[in-house]
Copies of this chain bind each other. A is one copy, B any other.
Amino acid sequence: MTELAARRRLDPDARRTEILDAALRLYAERPYGEVSTTELAREAGVARALLNHYFGTKRALYLEALRELLTIPEQAATDLAGQRPDDRAGAAVDWFLDTVEDRRSLWLSVGIGLSGDPEVDAVVEDADETAVDRVLTALGRDACDEPLRARVRAFFGMVRAASREWLVRGSLDRPAVRKLLTTAFVTVLED
């Protein structure tokens, strides 16, 4: 059953991604604290010490995986400008929901919101920051308006919670979530 593969010598980048993919696979099922480095190494088909060699520490590997997961594809938010101005908010919400649905399992597995761990929070906030940039520029709004950015970040909290209601609890269907988020988004963008 357990074939011990011959010692493969890989390009460092390839090995890195192999390990990262394995980590994403495991963290998709269980939270950080319940996944040991031994398991991570086994899943990646690699010696445990190699994790430390590439990522330094177990936590660093987790943060890398998290960053990888939260990095949203750039192309998506470009075509909002073509929409009718009065429904750009709706189009933006559709974009949110599409990306969430696409990365469903991983997105939900990593949890929603901030963890209380400063380093983890930093990664999440970083991802939020770029998402705010993309959305505001796609909407043709001033991306340097700090209070506006803050309101959008607050709105993201609602996006996460609403996605959870939709995908996990099933208490809202997609049209309901869309309507809820769109109206909320409009109010957020105004004042």
A151 within 8 A of B: yes
A60 within 8 A of B: no
A150 within 8 A of B: yes
Instruction: Give, as a whole number of angstroms, the nearest-CB distance from A126 to chain B.
Output: 13
Q: Which B residues are CB-close (under 8 A) to A115?
A: 31, 111, 115
Number of this chain's copies in the complex: 2
A59 — nearest CB in chain B belongs to which residue? B33
Among B117, B153, B184, the residue within 8 A (CB) of A184 is: B184
Q: Which B residues are CB-close (under 8 A) to A169?
A: 150
A140 within 8 A of B: no
A150 — nearest CB in chain B belongs to which residue? B171
Q: Which residues A52-74 have CB closer than 8 A to chain B?
A: none
Segment of A5-13, A75-83, A157-165 in the binding face: A157-165
Question: How far, in angstroms, from A109 to B169 measured CA to CA in the complex?
Answer: 26
A49 within 8 A of B: no
A116 — nearest CB in chain B belongs to which residue? B111
Segment of A18-26, A39-47, A88-96, A175-183 in the binding face: A175-183
B180 touches A151 (CB 8 A): yes
Instruction: Give, as a whole number of angstroms, the nearest-CB distance from A77 to chain B.
Output: 20
Q: Which B residues are CB-close (under 8 A) to A171?
A: 146-147, 149-150, 153
Chain A interface residues toward B at CB < 8 A? 27, 31-34, 108-118, 121, 146-147, 149-151, 153-162, 164-165, 169, 171-172, 176-177, 179-180, 183-184, 187-188, 191
Given A150-B169, A154-B180, A158-B158, 18 further pairs, Cβ under 8 A = A33-B33, A33-B117, A111-B113, A112-B114, A113-B113, A113-B161, A114-B164, A146-B171, A150-B172, A151-B162, A153-B165, A153-B171, A154-B158, A154-B161, A154-B165, A156-B161, A157-B160, A180-B188
